[in-house]
Amino acid sequence: MNPQTRFNIWYWIAAVIGILLIQQVVTTALRVAEIPYSEFEQYLEQGKVAEVAVSDRFIQGVLKQPLPDGRTQFVTTRVEPDLATQLERHGVRFSGQVENTFVRDLLSWIVPMAIFIGVWLFLLRRMGGGLGGGLMQIGRSKAKIYMEANTGVTFDDVAGVDEAKAELQEVVAFLKDPKEYGRLGGRMPKGILLVGPPGTGKTLLAKAVAGEAKVPFFSISGSEFVEMFVGVGAARVRDLFEQARTKAPAIIFIDELDALGRARGIGPTGGHDEKEQTLNQLLVELDGFDSSTGLVLIGATNRPEILDPALLRAGRFDRQVLVDRPDKLGRIQILNVHLKKAKLGPDVDAEKIAALTPGFTGADLANLVNEATLLATRRHADAVTMQDFNNAIERMVAGLEKRNRLLNPKEREIVAYHEMGHALVAMALPGVDPVHKVSIIPRGVGALGYTIQRPTEDRFLMTAEELENKMAVLLGGRAAEWIVFRHLSTGAADDLARVTDIARAMVTRYGMSERLGNVALEKDQRAFLSPNPLLGGPREREFSDMTAAVVDEEVRRIVDEVFDRTLAILIERRSLLERTARRLLETETLDEQELKQLVGDQAEASAPKVAPVH
């Protein structure tokens, strides 16, 4: 049974019991004794009755002497038709009256009932606070309304997404002067969809548009439309658009649109899901409003691939604006915005920080500045230094340091050789991101050590040779363990998983296998905006078992040949591996400068000339 229904049932049971008890108390409080008519006649014969009031059915009166229980008032059911003769014969003053039980009913029934109903409505309103303000307001929109410039955000607060800002500039111009903007017959897109990974600033951009245009801004999340009651979502959509029309020109912003606009017909409910009804109402509203009135709908999602096609057709969300992860220049701009709020040391350089943070979103960079500030505060510094930013980046990328996690000497030695294997292979191969730091201090959940590489530039394409070099760096740790200890450990589990994914992608998606040719054998089912273009999600197979066997053979061949190449690199640098590993065991951490001093030019000068694997 629904908890709300169970509460209502028990409440009304308690209310009925309470009303009966109140009625009993009220009746007792009135101090009226109910006596039989025969007893009334006896009192009458004995002259104990002072006065009575006679109605059609009852006789109420007052006795000259109290009853044994102390009461003097009585009531009895009228039986004798010639009552007046008897009363007159005994000298009793009497009168007739119309029976009126209003006061008694008011005290015993109506007032308690009104009290219990009032308490019930009060509790329902309190319990319904999460349902949009109570039971009677459940269909009202829950959108937060920011009037005019109250968003507190302008385009000056948004950095690193210049293309998206340029796309939205004309929205601002249209909202400021709809008539001038449409004088040539053009119209503003009804809906603008902001598409991008989480944390790239989609919500901030929408608020900036409202702040620049100085119009009311209705903000709501897609999940807030749907409740447990059928029809509530559609009612809230209608109410939201009605409110916005009354305040036009205005902006309606629906965040996380995928929670509301998921493609219909793919669920187990066969098209009768409440979310689908809400989506249908949204589609109707998008068709119904005139964009020339100054009403603009902005949506945001990081999963555009699951949105319903009807939502994205022309005339609805007919413009999509990509808000992607910022490049290096964009990261510098974002950092300059956030660094204004921090007290910085003279060595802090936004360009150096941006070079260390490829792939970071605007939210990540804001969090980075905050983490660095907290680290400087923790050590009671007067300003935030570049070292604080380096430590904050390591904390965000590799996890929190676990200095209390003590490894035995044998494990520390294995981890040291493993990490130096990664570093030396990376320093020996051309086109590989340079090594920034190597450490054997445990971090995060399971990392016993880590090697951080710093990209010199943003990369969007990779050749087969570069992918093989990336795999070689990942296999460097296992190769070093095999060369030094002649055994393998579980420390390379994550490295092997990533190497296998890269090799399989080379064979099945990128057509980099001569044996299979230039064909794509698998469809990548990863999210459209996945942060890693190499590592996909579940893949859809559309080839025969014979081809699958060839794929497995090719993947293994590529991994084995890359591993042999990695062994050759480290065998030639065996003395360098021993020297740097012992140094790492002593200091626990080696930065870029120390690595260059230890390695010098030996790595590049003695790099083996091994042909790329194909």
Handedness of CA 352, 358, 360, 361 (dihedral sign): positive
Determine contact, residues 570/483, Cβ cutoff 8 Å.
yes
Q: Residues near 97 by Cβ (< 8 Å), separated by ≥ 6? A: 53, 54, 55
Grouping H, G, I as helix, E, B as strand and the rest as coil, residue 105 is helix
In 129-195, beta strands by DSSP E? 144-146, 191-195
Residue labelled with tokens 């120390």: 594
Q: What is d(CA 126, CA 141) in angstroms, rounded to the nearest whole number?
A: 18
177 is written with which tokens?
């002067």
Q: Residues near 436 by Cβ (< 8 Å), separated by ≥ 6? A: 356, 452, 453, 454, 591, 592
The one catalytic residue in 167, 413, 419, 554 is 419
48 is written with which tokens?
């104990």
281 is written with which tokens?
């109402």
Q: What is d(CA 48, CA 241) in angstroms, rounded to the nearest whole number?
A: 79
Residue 425's φ and ψ, nearest 5 degrees, are -65, -40
Q: Which of 530, 196, 526, 206 is nearest to 362 (CA)?
A: 196
Determine contact, residues 52/94, Cβ cutoff 8 Å.
yes
Give CA 551 to chain center in angstroms.
39
Q: What is d(CA 416, CA 282) in angstroms, rounded to the nearest whole number?
A: 59
Q: On the CB side of 42, how many CA atoms lie within 13 Å of its CA?
A: 5
Q: Is 231 left (phi over 0), alpha (psi -120 to 50) or beta?
A: left
Is 45 among the catalytic positions? no
Q: Which of 457, 446, 470, 332 is nearest to 398 (CA)?
A: 446
154 is written with which tokens?
């302008």
Q: Is 408 exposed, middle or buried (CB count within 10 Å of its CB: 0-12, 13-18, 19+)?
A: exposed
| Amino acid identity, position 517 | G
Q: On the CB side of 196, how many CA atoms lie within 13 Å of its CA?
A: 26
Q: Which residues are catalytic?
A: 419
